[in-house]
Amino acid sequence: FEGVAAPEVDQSGTLLGQQREAERKKRAAEKSAARAKRTCRHRIKSAGASSLLTCTYRENMTDFDRARRDWAAYLRKLRRAIPGFRAVYAFEQQDRGAWHVHAAIDKLPKHLDTVHGRVRSWDFLRRLWHSVVGADNGNIDVDGHLKTRHGMPGKFRAAESLAKLAGYVSKYLTKDHESGIPGRNRWGSTQGIEVSKPVVIDLPEMPLAELVGVAFEV
C-alpha cells in the first residue's frame, strides 16, 4: 500500500545481524589502525628520527603487558643515561607469539661515555636491555648492527631514510590488526616530539603534471 512504511525488523540476534556487526567492527578496526599508522608516521617525520632500534626476547615471551612494562622500564633507563633520548615505537608479535619492539630513534654516536667508561653505543643499549629482561634473555639491534658467528666485530649499515624508517615502524600498527588487543595501544612515543601542523598552500590553476611536480618540490 502506498504511504505505508514496512516495520523495521530487529535482526541483531540473527545470523545476518551478526555478520553486519562483524563487518562494522572490522571497518572500525581498519580505520583505527590506519589513523594510528598515519599519526605514528607523522610523528617519526616530525622528530627527524634516523635510526632503527629493535628489542627482542630470547624466550617466547607472549605477555603483552609485560612487554609494555619492560619497554617502559628500558625507556626510563635510556632517558637517564642519554638526556633528550627520543623514540617512536611499535610492538609486534611474531608468528611464534613472542613480542618485540621496533623504535625509530635519533642517530646515536658510535660511543657513549658512561660511569663504566667509554663504550660502544649499541653495546651499552644491549646491557641496559639485559638489566631489564635478564642476562642473555634477549638482544637489541641498532641500524642493522651485525656480529659474525665467530664473534668478530660487526658494522653499522647506513641509517634508514626518514620516509623508509617511518613506513617500516608504522606498518606494524596495521599488521594483524583484527587480532589486536581491544583498547590497548600497540605504539607510542616519548615526550618532547611535536608533530608539525599541516600547511595550506594556495596554488594557481595548472595542469595536473605540473601540480605533481610542485608537490614534490614543496
Mean residue pLDDT of the chain comes to 78
Q: Given this model, what pLDDT does residue 109 score?
A: 87
Indicate the pairing of strand 111-114 with strand 99-105.
unpaired
Q: Given this model, what pLDDT does residue 68 score?
A: 93
Which pLDDT band, with edges at 50, 70 and 90, does 73 fall under? very high
Q: Given this model, what pLDDT does residue 150 score?
A: 37
Indicate the pairing of strand 87-93 with strand 117-120.
unpaired
Which pLDDT band, with edges at 50, 70 and 90, does 148 fall under? very low
> 105-122 burial by CB neighbour count: b if 16+ within 10 A, else e?
beebeeebeeeeeeebbb
Which pLDDT band, with edges at 50, 70 and 90, does 71 fall under? very high
- The Cα 112–Cα 96 span in angstroms is 35
